[in-house]
Chains A and B, each alone.
Chain A
Amino acid sequence: DTAVSQTPKYLVTQMGNDKSIKCEQNLGHDTMYWYKQDSKKFLKIMFSYNNKELIINETVPNRFSPKSPDKAHLNLHINSLELGDSAVYFCASSHSSRGRDEKLFFGSGTQLSVL
C-alpha cells in the first residue's frame, strides 16, 4: 500500500484553467504538507495542515487554496493557472506538526505543466 499517494502524476493544462491535485495518506499522521519544487529543484513549503487546521500558509498567491476534508486528505486547488505555476508539487505527511525528529513522508509528486 502506498503511504502517501497523490493524483494525478502528470497534469498538462492551459493558462487560465483551474485544476486540483489530490493527496491521501494512510499512515495515520496528523500533519500534511504541500511543497513546490521549481525547475531548479528548489523545494519550498507552501502549506501545512494539522488535523484539518491550517498551520502554515507561506507567501503563496491566493489562487492556491488547500482544502483538508479530514486529516488523511489534503487537496490543492489552483485557480487561473499561470505559466510560472509549472513545477512539481509534492504532498507530504508527518506524525505531528511539531517535534524535532518529525521526518516527512512524501508522495511521488505531480508534474504540472501550464502551456
Chain B
Amino acid sequence: AQKITQTQPGMFVQEKEAVTLDCTYDTSDPSYGLFWYKQPSSGEMIFLIYQGSYDQQNATEGRYSLNFQKARKSANLVISASQLGDSAMYFCACENQAGTALIFGKGTTLSVSS
C-alpha cells in the first residue's frame, strides 16, 4: 500500500534562509504524483506544488521547488528565502493505490523566525 513518511516533526529556520522539508514515499505504481500542501495556523489546506513521476524536470512554483529523487523515492520540498508567513504545517501526499484519493504524511511544522 502507498505510504508517505515525513520524519521531521518540526523544523526551525531564520528569515531569508532556505529550508528543506523531507518526504519519502512507498508505492508500487510505475506512474504516480506527489503533492505538497501547507496548513497555516488558520487551518485551511493550501496546495503548493505537484510532481509527476515521469516529469523530466523537478517542479518549481515561485519560492517552492521539489527535490525529486525517484530512485530514492524522495520528494523533498525546498522553500527558498523563507518568510515569517511560511510558518505552518506542511504535508506531503500521494495517491492511494486505486488512484482515487490522496494519502498524507504526518506533516512537518515549520517555524520561521526573524
CB within 8 Å for A101 and B101 given contacts A106-B44, A109-B44? no
Q: Does A86 contact B (CB under 8 A)?
A: no
Q: Do B106 and A33 have beta carbons less than 8 Å apart?
A: no
Q: Do A90 and B31 have beta carbons less than 8 Å apart?
A: no
Q: Does A55 contact B (CB under 8 A)?
A: yes
Instruction: Report A35 CB to chain B, min CB distance, Å.
Output: 8
Q: Do B44 and A100 have beta carbons less than 8 Å apart?
A: no
Q: Do B47 and A88 have beta carbons less than 8 Å apart?
A: no
Question: In the complex, what distance in Å separates the CA atom of A105 from the CA atom of B99?
Answer: 16
Which of under 10, 10 to 19, 20 to 34, or 35 or more describes the interface residues of A?
20 to 34
Q: Do B89 and A41 have beta carbons less than 8 Å apart?
A: yes
Which of under 10, 10 to 19, 20 to 34, or 35 or more describes the interface residues of B?
20 to 34
Q: Do A45 and B43 have beta carbons less than 8 Å apart?
A: no
Instruction: Report B99 CB to chain A, min CB distance, Å.
Output: 5
Q: Does B35 contact A (CB under 8 A)?
A: yes
Q: Do A103 and B95 have beta carbons less than 8 Å apart?
A: no
Chain A residues 84-115 with CB under 8 Å of chain B are 88, 90, 92, 97-106, 108-109, 111
Q: Does B104 contact A (CB under 8 A)?
A: yes
Q: What per-residue 1/0 map shows which CB atoms of B17-29 lie under 8 Å from chain A?
A: 0000000000000
Which residues of chain A have C-beta atoms less than 8 A from B96's C-beta? 45
Q: Do B95 and A104 have beta carbons less than 8 Å apart?
A: no
Q: Do A40 and B43 have beta carbons less than 8 Å apart?
A: no
In the complex formed, the residue of A with least CB distance to B55 is: A101
Q: Do B102 and A108 have beta carbons less than 8 Å apart?
A: no
Q: Do B50 and A43 have beta carbons less than 8 Å apart?
A: no
Q: Does B68 contact A (CB under 8 A)?
A: no
Q: Does B103 contact A (CB under 8 A)?
A: yes
Q: Do B50 and A103 have beta carbons less than 8 Å apart?
A: yes
Chain B residues 29-46 with CB under 8 Å of chain A are 31-33, 35, 37, 39, 43-45
Choose from B37, B43, B99 the contact partner of A88 (Cβ within 8 Å).
B43
